[in-house]
Structures are given as structure tokens and as C-alpha cells.
Amino acid sequence: MPEAVIETHALTKRFRGGQLAVNRLDLTVPRGSVFGFLGPNGSGKTTTIRMLLGLIAPTSGTASLLGQPMPRAAHSVLPGVGALIEGPALYGFLSGRDNLLRYDSADPQADPRTRRARVDAALERVGLAHASTKKAKAYSLGMKQRLGLASALLQPRGLLVLDEPTNGLDPQGMREIRTLVRELADEGTTVFLSSHLLDEIEQVCTHAAVMARGTLLAQGRVADLATRGRLAVGTPDPAVAARVLKELGITGVDVTGDRVTGDVPSAETDVADLNTALVREGVRVRSFGVERASLEDAFVALTGEGFDVAG
């Protein structure tokens, strides 16, 4: 398999009327990664996913999945791709098991002799074995999400594309799906997931990309995207501390109550020297250190917008 399981070059989608939904997107999803696709509503995430899967055609640019061009090679590529996009399409009058049997029978590459074993294994893996005979119309939203995920796991996949995979799940169900995603990655499946839950991305993803208004703002390892920390000083003398830090060249100084924060200084500056300077100027320092930024901090810094953290 190629090192980049998903790769796009200048991928662009402009809808009728001139609306630019995705603007010259250059995206690289490494093989074996769990890749989080982040962005507020209207940022172009779903449009991008639809282009990647060949559901809509790009206006310009190129995209490849598993090393093959899309949508030209869709017939040979898509059997190796599992997808759950905008919720599963289910037959409400059929049981969960019968829905999966229908999905599996529609796959020309699926061996009918082992169909029931595959369905049973998929149901067990997403925690629906106990509800397999229940009609899908009686499933909760979370159970429908699980069943949709099971349909994507009927065959071994080189790539799994998930849109809001924990939508509608309770906290325990969310933890189970996160564990499953990690297991799939450990087994060699690359997982590409779109989510509005930033803590979910931080917990489960190795890599991420941030979109806003159809434009890619940043991509890379989650740990690297979230490394921009803040210098934080706790003191009953915040005004003096803020003045001293500014005089020492610290930018982005902000005062909130008895807490003073600022941008982390350059590598040439020893933060211990900053503490010494504060004390020398009579600042009573109760706490001092560099706080690691969260992915939420990085997202807000990149987009200027807030974002759901825990749903």
C-alpha cells in the first residue's frame, strides 16, 4: 500500500451559483493513521468526503484513495474502503442482522458461504449482538450508528471513513467506539474521521487537519498541532507582572483576575530567568509555568471560531 492512503492536490469544488465549497485542498493522510478532519459547519468537510468517495465530482484538482485516482478507479478502490457518512441508511422493517445480511449480499466480492459468520462478527464487534433480532426502526440513534459502523466492518478494509461515528452514543458507547477505532488502526486500517468533538480527536487521533471556509488551515500530527502553549503566572500583583513580562519581550500578555498569561518565549529565552525577573521586581509569584495548549486552543487560534469540546 502507498504511504499516503488519501492524497489530494488542489482539490476544488464550486457549486452552481459560484459557491466555493472546497478551495485547492492539499491533503495527505498517512497509512496506519487515525486522521481527524476538523472544522465548523460549512467548512467543506462533508463536500471533501463526498469527492473522495466519488459521490460528487470535483470542479478541479485530483484525489487518490489507496494509491489510485478517484473517481476514475472507484470500481477497484471502493471495495477496500468502508464508510459511514451522515448516518446509516437502514431498512426499518428489517432486524439489525437482516440489514447486515442485505449489505453483505450486495457486495459482489463477499463469499456467501461465510456471510452469517461475518455478520455475527460485525455485530459482536460493535456491541449489538444482543439486539440483532430487533427491528432497526426501534433502534436508538446510537444503535443505528453502531449498525452503520458494523456494515462498514463486514470486510477487511484498508481505509475506513467515518462521519461523526459517536453521534448519539452515551459516554460508555463513545469509549467503546474509540477503543474500536484504535484497534482497527493497530490492525492496519487507516481511519479517517470527521468529528465535532475536539476531545474525541485528541484522545483517538494521531493526525488531524483543520478546515475553515473551504480552506485547509493546518494538518499534521495532533501532538504537533497542539504544542503552542502559554506562559502562565499566578500572582496577587497581576498588573506589575504584566508590565514586567511586556518589558522582557513577552507578547500576547493577557490579565484575567490574578492570572497573567503570554506567548511562550523563543528558545533563546530561559523561562526560569523570567521567573527570577518577576521576583526581582517585587512580584509575588504563586505559580509559574508553561501550559500545554489543547487542540481546542490551536483550533481557535487558527480559525478565530469556537468549537464544541465535549458535545
Residues 241 and 205 in one domain: no
- Assessment of whether the complete model's pTM goes beyond 0.95: no
Confidence (pLDDT) at 304: 63
Residues 221 and 269 in one domain: no
Q: For residue 244, what are the CA distances in angstroms to 232, 235, 237, 238, 283?
A: 13, 13, 11, 10, 9
Residues 31 and 149 in one domain: yes
* Domain count for the chain: 2
Question: Which of 87-101, 159-173, 185-199 is the most confident on average?
Answer: 87-101
Residue 309 has pLDDT above 50, yes or no: no
The residue that leads in pLDDT, 38 or 1, is 38
Residue 1 has pLDDT above 80, yes or no: no
Residues 54 and 165 in one domain: yes
Residue 239 belongs to a domain = yes
Residue 14 belongs to a domain = yes
Residue 199 has pLDDT above 90, yes or no: no
**Is the distance from CB of 25 to CB of 10 less than 8 angstroms?**
yes
Residue 297 has pLDDT above 60, yes or no: yes
Confidence (pLDDT) at 293: 64
The residue that leads in pLDDT, 309 or 177, is 177
Segment 80-109 shows an average pLDDT of 90
The residue that leads in pLDDT, 149 or 293, is 149
Provide the CATH number for the domain around residue 132. Answer: 3.40.50.300
Cβ-Cβ contacts under 8 Å for 242 (sequence gap 6 or more): 253, 255, 260
Residues 211 and 257 in one domain: no
Residues 196 and 278 in one domain: no
Residues 71 and 57 in one domain: yes
Confidence (pLDDT) at 306: 55
Residues 29 and 149 in one domain: yes
For residue 100, the enclosing domain spans 4-225
Segment 56-60 shows an average pLDDT of 95
Mean pLDDT estimate for the chain: 87
Segment 233-258 shows an average pLDDT of 93
Residues 48 and 81 in one domain: yes
Residues 59 and 161 in one domain: yes
Residues 281 and 188 in one domain: no
Residue 120 has pLDDT above 50, yes or no: yes
Question: For cell 473522495, what's the residue?
Answer: 52
Confidence (pLDDT) at 296: 67
